[in-house]
Amino acid sequence: MGKIDPSEITPEHVYLNRRQLIKGMGALAAASFLAACSGDRERGASPLSSATPATGPAATPDPLEDTLTPYDDVTGFVNFYEFSLSKTEAAELAEDFRTSPWEVEVGGLVHSPRTFTLEEILAYQQQERIYRMRCVEGWSMVIPWTGFPLSRLLEAVDPTSEARFVRFETLYDPEQMPGQKTSVLDWPYVEGLRLDEAMHDLTILATGLYGKQLPPQNGAPVRLVAPWKYGFKSLKSIVKIDLTADMPVSTWVTAAPSRYGFYANVNPNLSPPIASQPTERVIGTGRQRETELFNGYGEAVAHLYAGMDLEQNF
């Protein structure tokens, strides 16, 4: 199976394929997700499972012409500072994390505030979404998520006309999350999106990957994924979502405001000291590739930033 050189892939081309595939996949992915949820986890097959074993050493090209990152890398090499700064140790320490029962409280500037149980979240029709993820540390993965557009959940609570931003919070539970007994970050981990970014079809709440339940270390039971932004925006194990009038102050902006901005759109063209690595290491392939503006999703999202200075609004 020939690897496609990244320079041969135009973002438009990838995106169009992606759109077609996503459309055609809804029902299949939902079916496989139900299989995954019914307790038969080992055999909860992804729609890609014929081409891609859920576990195993070999990376396999997916129909989007990106190479899926092997399951063992996606689940074994993680950033989850609530557990550990070490990527492999975080995966181990998260093993027994309790993800049930779980609730997500959605409120703030909305007409119908509501607390969703995990079961209610899983009742939204789940789709397979294959997305690139680019971490500011200079590595990337291609991950087949299961999830659904965040817009579905936000529509259910009916934002008021004053709502302009969405603020997200990860669980705070130092007894379970030993990293929260340290002060490496301000806890709980907070992130935010502008409301139009949050409503964008590419923005999902992920509940699974590779057609299986989301492993604890990847942010179970429900996490955000906004694939045109650096990975740190995609916060894990969400318990609270608030609609706000003002721009939320996110954890990483508090930690290092000169380096991390609110938008955190993947952008290889920014000047230092802002995160600006022009290339990325593709985990599981030994390859280095050029980083693309908006992580290759420009066709879909560039209009959100029309007229904005991306150097100022990093």
Ligand X SMILES: Nc1nc2c(c(=O)[nH]1)N[C@H]1C(S)=C(S)[C@@H](COP(=O)(O)O)O[C@H]1N2
Task: Name the residue among 78, 43, 223 with its Cα closest to residue 146.
Answer: 223
Site string for Mo ion, 129-158 (x = CB under 5 A): ------x-----------------------
| Gap between the Cα atoms of 268 and 207, Å rounded | 29
CA angle 91/178/208 to nearest 5° reads: 35
Residues numbered 64 to 93 that lie near ligand X (CB under 6 A) are: 78-82
Query: What are the structure tokens assigned to 212, written together?
Result: 């299986």
Does residue 232 interact with ligand X by CB under 6 A?
yes
Of the candidate residues 67, 126, 234, 265, the single one contacting ligand X (CB under 6 A): 234
Torsion-angle region of residue 303: left (phi > 0), alpha (psi -120 to 50) or beta? alpha
Task: Count CB atoms within 10 A of the CB of residue 140.
Answer: 24
Task: Name the residue among 43, 77, 33, 73 with its Cα closest to residue 56.
Answer: 73
| Gap between the Cα atoms of 21 and 15, Å rounded | 10
Site string for ligand X, 112-151 (x = CB under 6 A): -----------------------x----------------
Residues numbered 203 to 222 that lie near ligand X (CB under 6 A) are: 218-219
Task: Name the residue among 215, 217, 194 with its Cα closest to residue 83.
Answer: 217
Q: How far is the CB of 133 from Mo ion (least distance, A)?
A: 8
The stretch among 56-64, 95-103, 117-125, 232-240 that binds ligand X (CB under 6 A) is 232-240
Q: How would you class 35 by CB atoms within 10 Å of its CB: exposed for 0-12, middle for 13-18, buried for 19 or more?
A: middle
Of the candidate residues 235, 266, 275, 300, the single one contacting ligand X (CB under 6 A): 235
Torsion-angle region of residue 17: left (phi > 0), alpha (psi -120 to 50) or beta? alpha
Does residue 231 interact with Mo ion by CB under 5 A?
yes
Residue nearest to ligand X (CB): 231
Residue the block writes with tokens 């991306």: 310
- What's the sign of the alpha-carbon dihedral 31, 19, 295, 73? positive
Residue 82 or residue 292: which is nearer to ligand X going by CB?
A: 82
The stretch among 37-45, 79-87, 120-128, 294-302 that binds Mo ion (CB under 5 A) is 79-87
Does residue 180 interact with ligand X by CB under 6 A?
no
Residue 163 or residue 203: which is nearer to ligand X going by CB?
A: 203
Q: How far is the CB of 303 from ligand X (least distance, A)?
A: 25
Task: Name the residue among 106, 103, 79, 107 with its Cα closest to residue 93.
Answer: 79
Residue 136 or residue 243: which is nearer to Mo ion going by CB?
A: 136
* CA dist 279 → 6, 66, 135, 139, 287 (Å): 11, 16, 11, 8, 10
Site string for Mo ion, 261-300 (x = CB under 5 A): ----------------------------------------
Residue 135 or residue 153: which is nearer to ligand X going by CB?
A: 135
Partner from ligand X, Mo ion, none contacting 189, C-beta within 5 to 8 A by type: ligand X
Of the candidate residues 236, 253, 265, 294, the single one contacting ligand X (CB under 6 A): 236
Of the candidate residues 102, 145, 189, 262, the single one contacting ligand X (CB under 6 A): 189
Contact residues: Mo ion, CB under 5 A: 79, 135, 231-232
Contact residues: ligand X, CB under 6 A: 78-82, 135, 170, 189, 218-219, 231-232, 234-236
